[in-house]
Every structure is written in C-alpha cells, then in structure tokens.
Amino acid sequence: MPNDIQALQQALREFARERDWEQFHSPRNLATALSVEAAELLEHFQWLTDEQSRTLAPDRVEAVGAEVADVFLYLLQLADRLGIDPIQAARSKLEVNARKYPVELARGSSAKYTDF
C-alpha cells in the first residue's frame, strides 16, 4: 500500500482516537456513513444536465471536492477496519473488469457485460 494511503489512514486513526470515536467506527457504521456522504456528493449534480455537470462553477467544484474528500476518508477508514488494501483491491477489480469488458466488445458501448 502506498505510503500516502497508509499515512492518511494513520492520521484518521489518530483523529478518531483523540475524540474517542473509534467506538462508533464499526464496519457497518462506516459503510452507512460512506453511503450518506456519497448521496451528499450526488446532491450537487441533482437536476443538472450532462453538460452542466461538466462545467461547474469554481465554488461548486470546491464543494464537490469537500464531498469527494468525505467519501474517500470514510472509504479509507472502512478499508482500514477490515484490513483491505484499497490500492490492491482497486487493481484487482480493474483486472476483473478488463476481462468482463474486453475492448473489442465494450468500446463505445455502455452495455453491461452480460449483454455482450
């Protein structure tokens, strides 16, 4: 796991420990919090057209960045609690997706792999 990820997870552990919040950080609670933060991220795009979502005002991009951070931090905490290396998990999933979506079948298509 890259040092940046490990350092961030350590900082999150210390942050929670200093506040005695570890007691609340069960995998279930962290997954729930992650879902809530993902919904808050989505809220910034509600009712926008695709084009509007691509051309956000700088203040909106900043607000979206704060929600991205919340999602990322909860995801890192969840992975840490479960002993999952998020970088390795992502690499493994990318390999799985490459097999499910071969270029010759998936290029330019939004179809699910089961529809190829």
Mean pLDDT score, 52-72: 98
Nearest of 62, 77, 87, 64 to residue 22 by alpha carbon: 77
Nearest of 75, 70, 97, 100 to residue 86 by alpha carbon: 75
Q: What pTM did the predictor assign?
A: 0.90
* Count of domains forming the chain: 1
Report if residue 9 sits inside a domain: yes
Per-residue confidence (pLDDT) for residue 2, from 0 to 100: 62
Mean pLDDT score, 51-58: 98
Per-residue confidence (pLDDT) for residue 53, from 0 to 100: 98
Percentage, residues of the chain above pLDDT 90: 97
CATH number of the CATH domain containing 14: 1.10.287.1080
Report if residue 69 sits inside a domain: yes
Quick: pLDDT tens for 68-82: 999 999 999 999 999
Residue whose token pair is 């089961």: 114
Report if residue 111 sits inside a domain: no
